[in-house]
Structure 1
Amino acid sequence: MFTTRPELAGTHGMVASTHWLASSAGMAVLEDGGNAFDAAAAAGFVLQVAEPHLNGPAGQVPAIFVTAADRTPRVLCGQGVAPAAATPEHFADLGLDLIPGSGLLPGTVPGAWDGWLLLLRDHGTKSLREVLKYAISYAERGVPVLDRVAATIATVAGLFADHWPGSAELWLPGGVPPVAGTLHRNPALARTWGRLLAEAESVSGREAQLDAARRAWSRGFVAEAVDVFSRQAFRDDSGRDHAGLLTGDDLASWEATYEDALVTEFGDWGLVKCGGWTQGPALAQQLLLLDGFRDELSYVDGVPSARTVHLAVEAAKLAFADREAWYGDTEVPLDRLLSADYIAARRALIGDEASAELRPGLDGRLPRILGELRGVQPASGAIGEPTVGPTGQTRGDTVHIDVVDAAGNMVSATPSGGWLQSSPAIPELGFCLDSRAQMFWLEKGLPNTLAPGKRPRITLSPSMALRDGEPVIAFGTPGGDQQDQWQVCFWLAHTVAGLNLQQAIDAPAWHTTAFPSSFYPRSWEPREIVVESRLGESTMDELTARGHRVVDAGPWALGRLSAVSRDPATGILRAAANARGMQGYAVGR
């Protein structure tokens, strides 16, 4: 099969991410004696500078990890919660039936800083300065502007100029969008990180310094600036100006946490995901459904058959319908949703023709799903790549990092939020708040109904694979609702077609939009599937004949996967990254 790059192999360490500068920074930390946790955090901070349209300092970071000493996968929850003042009644009083996708109203408590520092404190080896210095350097000296960063800023330049002066000052040098390839500096962000470092280094000891830096964020000058800024009113995609809801008390009352991971087994393979407060279990549901069709899944020269794509799409529709019905920061009945009897009953719904209904399972949920969709109009033609509207609403914007070291420490992290285009920049801090609360529903009684202190059901979905119970692969992708569909493409290409990591990433991808988007304005298209044309004309014709509305996204358009692996028998480490968009790279030795 054709592959864009070789699968890397070595024994010292591997880093794969969505931007070459982040991968290089992570590898520099490994070369300097750091471990996978140090490297992942360094890469994560660099991504906040290198891909600011996809993540930022006030975003969030869920991660799955194992340590060299403990091979039981764990979850890091770096997703903040809704503010104390965020209630459905508040939005109803504002005349809103959906939470806007931009501005200050959709802000949740920033989680990325505390999440990364908690992971560093408990499992890293380096000081905060040693980890953060790469990102500070890029913020001070400048980072080359990506084509998509320039295009994103150009899209929202009018909003910045007319309504978000802090963003205009930061992102429109000389009053115009930056040119791709030129250096962009963010001295305010560099100063913020410098102040946090100064607070950290005012005490002795690595762990104490990391805790001091966490406090300086959640109870110190960052929280104070957020509190003051959130009381101002700014334009959002409702077309009106609204003040935010976040307060310093909201930041002070939240900390990142660890959780047990969800592990689902398929013969000698196992899949590790975050819990039902994310969409992660939908990947497990899809793979369980497809496991019953394993004799029908086929590839030729790395390209799946039309039957394989059809079955995967129909499995996705069922799994994501259950996501809509059941997932949220609540008691999600995953034991039932992933049980053999339930999966078998759901599998029986998959026929030879494309379904056009949203069909959640288990009793009593269909009426609520239909209630959610009142007033949500289908929209066609979306290809699933990051989408930005002129008023800043955003969907599908994320980054990803995978790291493994020689000792066997392994991390899969999917940072996101705090996008430059989604919320006005706080001038003295050099970054903006996130807009993750747009993923809540305002209709009462749903698992993902907005409530104070509640996490939104997020699309961020890092993954890990086990072989005979041993962690062997860390992988993931940006892409909003598509994350746990593009990961199906990767999983099948690797485990069914037998492709290596790079070949599996390069294999043709697809996804469906036949369920409500997690992002404002929550559109969907019941029969649509979006495919890469490398599937072949005959395959696309057969999918059309089965009743799918096929959208050709082009040959290389879907997904930004990366992956690292470790063979426990030999100690050989491998890595691969997506060539689509020409940003993602793996490095290692």
Structure 2
Amino acid sequence: MTPASRPFTTRPELVGTTGMVASTHWLASQSGMAVLEAGGNAFDAAVAAGLVLHVVEPHLNGLGGDLPLVACTAGGDPFVLCGQGTAPAAATPEAFAALGLDHVPGTGLLAAVVPGAFGTWLDLLARYGTWHVADVLRYAIGYARDGFPLIPQAATTIGAVAHHFRSHWPTSAETYLPDGAVPEPMSRFRLPVLAATLERIADESRAAGPSREAGIEAARRAFYEGFVAEEIGRFCATQSLVDSTGHAHGGLLTADDLTAWRVREEAPATLEVAGRTVAKTGPWGQGPVLLQHLALLTGMDLADTRPGTAELVHAVVETAKLAYADRDHWYGDPDRTDVPLEALLSSAYADERRRLVSPDAADDVAPGSPDGRPAPPLPPAVAERVAAAVAARRAGRSVSPATRAAGVGEPTIARDGSTRGDTCHLDVVDRWGNVVSATPSGAWLQSSPVIPTLGFQLPTRAQMFWVEDGFPGSVAPRKRPRTTLSPTLVLRDGRPEIACGTPGGDQQDQWQVPFLLNHLVFGMGLQEAIDAPTFHTTHLVSSFDPRDLDPAGVHVEERFGPEVVGELRRRGHEVTVTAPWSLGRLSAAAIGHDGMLHAAANPRGMQGYAVGR
């Protein structure tokens, strides 16, 4: 390809030999690259970059959040680390019923689960890294102590919940409203209490002696058995604070819940597609839905379909509806519910489901029966909401989303649900062939009050449980909620090739599918595939309170053009045209067939960045 014939991209696709880091924030990317430059491997770099994300994107994740990652060592097998914290031992359907609740609140202390992110970073460092805890922590400590530029989206988020903080969450007001005012965008912002917490953990790690492994274990104990766990348990037991129900509740999470929790290393769920192996989390996350989606599309012979056409958007949207219907009904913690994953990912099942796709948009999609048994139903209240939405659509009435309280969602920050945030993502490859894809999230500043002695919030992932008993997603003691977090690893001939992912809640896998099609099927480079106009459907049960469904809904970026939008509407899709660069925040890092390292990051939001050499 000559220079003149190369496609225009918003940024160059980076190519080098030393290492690559791509993430949703430039400071995290550069911190990870600093580790690679200093001789650390991809696992060391991922830990340092992820800890920085906890500091510099507090509206999108936090030290008390959740973390799934999928990774591979050079010459090894891919693996998944499940950093999704479990529900408290006291979290039962009866406990919520006794409070008069028919759902888990989307914000506050009742939705808290065990913070899994920090333990997962430590586990990755212990098993596969080479650096000491204090060394990977110093970047995050420096930004928390000395300050970082508060991105406009974070300042906007703080402004949206400032009244709630002042009225109901005083510890959050003290942390995020310095001098009582909303901080200015890009002003220097400090988190001194969080810095002190991290410094104390680093000190306890050093005190364990020169052994790297002993230092990591000391840091783990400090968080999950020591002062951090004790402060979390005390705060949940002694505070009663207003949440998204409009009423004050305490928390169920205890220090014993943290002590009992351990990181899980698991084999990934995989699918062979386009000459590659795509690796995802198990069905405790939504990761397998991407595999189901790709399996449906693989049988549609899309190679001769032009990217950006209504035909392709329709095919991707209609198959997404089928895959997500299975997600909504079947997925859950496989330790506690029978998820027929092998059958869901089988080619025979994909062939059966694919026959349901028609030239027109479906407005009601049922889950399948992958092993011959009927799919579990949705809880009655949610099923009624879904049925009412479908009936309104068929009657030609508009479907209005339920009103959301401040801070609800992943995360929603406006009461009408109009302003959404995302989460975070990072990808790392190194010169030795190690690869990491990680999606830290949860513990958003707007979703849970700050623990004043620690300087961070708790994750509210329990909102993804049903409070009714007897369903795959029902709340239960020490059970994993089915999360939306969904990093991806692609292998070629058994060797890691691409790490990728995006923030976006229910849209994470939807935005990754067009990217993978663009790159693997249509031959686009990483940056070109990220830059391409994208889309998603809202025809699924939202994973977040209040569990809306928008029948036949499709969001497309304006760059698709009026002809594509018109054709989609002619086929019956309820199309919402969004701003030209508004959907998805993908990043990717890769190892080429010649051993060269590649990386690309999303220009949307003006903060994601790839760095490398």
Q: TM-score range by the shorter chain?
A: over 0.9
Distance in 2 between residues matched to 1:213 and 1:394, nearest whole Å: 37
Mean alpha-carbon deviation: is it higher for 386-395 or for 434-443? 386-395
Distance in 1 between residues matched to 2:130 and 2:378, nearest whole Å: 48
Conserved in 2, the CA contact under 8 Å of 1:336 and 1:342?
A: yes
1:552 is the counterpart of 2:580: no
Distance in 2 between residues matched to 1:366 and 1:110, nearest whole Å: 29
Conserved in 1, the CA contact under 8 Å of 2:303 and 2:522?
A: no
Conserved in 1, the CA contact under 8 Å of 2:108 and 2:241?
A: yes
Conserved in 2, the CA contact under 8 Å of 1:237 and 1:392?
A: no
1:343 is the counterpart of 2:343: no
Conserved in 2, the CA contact under 8 Å of 1:18 and 1:401?
A: yes
- For structure 2, the residue ranges without an aligned partner over 5 or more in a row are 1-6, 390-398, 403-408
Partner AA of 2:312 in structure 1: T
* CA deviation profile, 1:41-99 (whole Å, cap 9, x unmatched): 100011011100000000011000101241x1100111110000111111111111111
Q: Secondary structure at the match of 1:420?
A: coil
1:578 is the counterpart of 2:584: no
Conserved in 2, the CA contact under 8 Å of 1:237 and 1:391?
A: no
Distance in 1 between residues matched to 2:198 and 2:418, nearest whole Å: 27
Distance in 2 between residues matched to 1:390 and 1:183, nearest whole Å: 28
* Structure 1 partner of 2:3: none
- For structure 1, the residue ranges without an aligned partner over 5 or more in a row are none
Q: Secondary structure at the match of 1:353?
A: coil
1:401 is the counterpart of 2:407: no
Distance in 2 between residues matched to 1:489 and 1:307, nearest whole Å: 13
- Give how far 1:341 is off: 1.4
Cα 1:9/1:114, change in 2 over 3 Å: same
- Percent of aligned positions that are identical: 55
Distance in 2 between residues matched to 1:425 and 1:311, nearest whole Å: 44
1:312 is the counterpart of 2:316: yes
1:437 is the counterpart of 2:445: no
Partner AA of 2:365 in structure 1: L
Conserved in 2, the CA contact under 8 Å of 1:395 and 1:480?
A: no
Conserved in 1, the CA contact under 8 Å of 2:410 and 2:423?
A: no
1:6 is the counterpart of 2:12: yes
Correspondences of 1:401-420 after superposition (within 5 Å): 401-420=426-445
* Structure 2 partner of 1:323: 327
Cα 1:460/1:255, change in 2 over 3 Å: same
Query: Which of 329, 351, 354 is the equivalent residue of 2:361?
Result: 354
Distance in 1 between residues matched to 2:416 and 2:325, nearest whole Å: 29
- Give how far 1:270 is off: 1.6
Conserved in 2, the CA contact under 8 Å of 1:271 and 1:284?
A: yes
Cα 1:549/1:385, change in 2 over 3 Å: farther
- Give how far 1:534 is off: 1.0
- Give how far 1:387 is off: 2.5
Distance in 2 between residues matched to 1:391 and 1:534, nearest whole Å: 26
* Structure 2 partner of 1:261: 268
Query: Which of 171, 175, 199 is the equivalent residue of 2:204?
Result: 199
Distance in 1 between residues matched to 2:437 and 2:304, nearest whole Å: 27
Distance in 1 between residues matched to 2:106 and 2:125, nearest whole Å: 31
- Give how far 1:391 is off: 11
List, as ranges, runs of 4+ consecutive aligned residues in structure 1 with deviation greater than 4 Å: 375-382, 390-396
Correspondences of 1:105-504 after superposition (within 5 Å): 105-204=110-209, 205-231=211-237, 232-295=239-302, 298-299=305-306, 303-330=307-334, 331-362=338-369, 363-365=373-375, 367-368=377-378, 372-375=382-385, 378=389, 387-390=412-415, 397-504=422-529
Distance in 1 between residues matched to 2:276 and 2:380, nearest whole Å: 36
1:58 is the counterpart of 2:64: yes
Distance in 2 between residues matched to 1:393 and 1:110, nearest whole Å: 28
Distance in 1 between residues matched to 2:578 and 2:340, nearest whole Å: 36
Cα 1:532/1:188, change in 2 over 3 Å: same
Conserved in 1, the CA contact under 8 Å of 2:91 and 2:477?
A: yes
Q: Secondary structure at the match of 2:241?
A: strand
Conserved in 1, the CA contact under 8 Å of 2:74 and 2:495?
A: no
* Structure 2 partner of 1:24: 30
* Structure 1 partner of 2:586: 561
Mean alpha-carbon deviation: is it higher for 262-271 or for 33-42? 262-271
Conserved in 2, the CA contact under 8 Å of 1:297 and 1:496?
A: no
Query: Which of 508, 519, 525 is the equivalent residue of 2:544?
Result: 519
Cα 1:371/1:340, change in 2 over 3 Å: farther
TM-score (normalised: structure 2): 0.93
Cα 1:256/1:297, change in 2 over 3 Å: farther
Conserved in 2, the CA contact under 8 Å of 1:102 and 1:393?
A: no
Cα 1:548/1:537, change in 2 over 3 Å: same
Partner AA of 2:143 in structure 1: Y
Partner AA of 2:58 in structure 1: P
Distance in 2 between residues matched to 1:178 and 1:483, nearest whole Å: 30
* Structure 1 partner of 2:393: none
- Give how far 1:181 is off: 1.1
* CA deviation profile, 1:493-520 (whole Å, cap 9, x unmatched): 1122210000000011100010110001
Q: Secondary structure at the match of 2:479?
A: coil
Partner AA of 1:33 in structure 2: G
Partner AA of 2:517 in structure 1: L
Distance in 1 between residues matched to 2:304 and 2:280, nearest whole Å: 23
Cα 1:37/1:28, change in 2 over 3 Å: same
Mean alpha-carbon deviation: is it higher for 265-274 or for 151-160? 265-274
Q: Secondary structure at the match of 1:473?
A: strand
Conserved in 1, the CA contact under 8 Å of 2:379 and 2:466?
A: no
* CA deviation profile, 1:358-391 (whole Å, cap 9, x unmatched): 3100132264466642346755589x99522359
Distance in 1 between residues matched to 2:46 and 2:400, nearest whole Å: 37
Q: Secondary structure at the match of 2:605?
A: helix
Cα 1:582/1:357, change in 2 over 3 Å: same
TM-score (normalised: structure 1): 0.96
Partner AA of 2:566 in structure 1: D
- Give how far 1:180 is off: 0.3
Distance in 2 between residues matched to 1:434 and 1:141, nearest whole Å: 25
- Give how far 1:348 is off: 0.2
